[in-house]
Structure 1
Amino acid sequence: MKKKKIIILSIMIIVVALLLEASILKYVNDRNAHRTSKVLLDRVITVLDKNDESRNELIESLKDDYIVRAKAVSYMIDADPAVEYDVNELQKIAKLMAVDEIHLFDDQGTIYSGSAPNYFGYNFDSGAQMEYFKPMLKDKSLTMCQDVTPNTAEGKKMMYAITWNEDGTKMLQVGIEPKRLLNEIKQNNISNVVAGMPVYKAMEIMVADGDTQVIEGATDSSKLGEKLEDVGISVDHVSADGATVTRIRMDGKHCRCMMHQNDNYIVIVTVEDSFYQQGGMIAIFIVGAYLVLASCCITYMFSKVMKERLEKEKLIYTSNTDELTRCLNRHAYENDMKKLNLSEEWVYISVDLNGLKRANDSYGHMAGDELICAAADCMIDSFHEYGKVYRIGGDEFAVIITENTSQVEELIHGFDSNVANWHGKFVDSMTVSYGWVFSTERNWGSAYEISKAADARMYQSKERYYKESGADRR
Structure 2
Amino acid sequence: MKKAITKRLATIILAFMILTLCLNYVLQVHNARNDMYLDAKNKFWQINQILKQNEKETEQVKEDLKANCLIRAKAAAYILQYRPEITEDQEEMEKIARLLQVDEFHLFDKEGTLYAGSEPKYFGLNFTSGEQMQFFLPMLKDRELELCQDITPNTAEQKLMQYAAVWREDGEGIVQIGLEPDRVLESMKKNELSYIFSLVTADSGTTIYAIDPGTYQILGCTDGELAGKSITDVGVDPGTKMNQGFSARVNGEDSYCVFTDGDSVILGITESNRGLYKDVNSNCLLTAVYLVLISIIMIVSISKYMDYYVVRGISSVNQRLEKITKGNLDTKVEVETTPEFKELSGRINLMVDSLLDTTNKLTKILEAARVPIGVYEYNKDMKRVMATGRVADILMLTEEEARELLLDHVLFEKKLEDIRLHPVTGGKDVYRLPGEREHFIRMNTFSNANSILGIIIDVTEDMVEKQHIEKERDIDLLTGLYSRRAFYRKMEELFKAPEELGHAVILMADADNLKKVNDDYGHENGDRYLQGIAVILRSCKAEKQVLARISGDEFVVFLYQCRDREVLSAHIRELLLTMKGSTVELSNSKEIPVRFSVGCAYYPEDGRDYRELLSLSDHNMYQSKRNRER
Q: TM-score w.r.t. structure 1 length?
A: 0.34
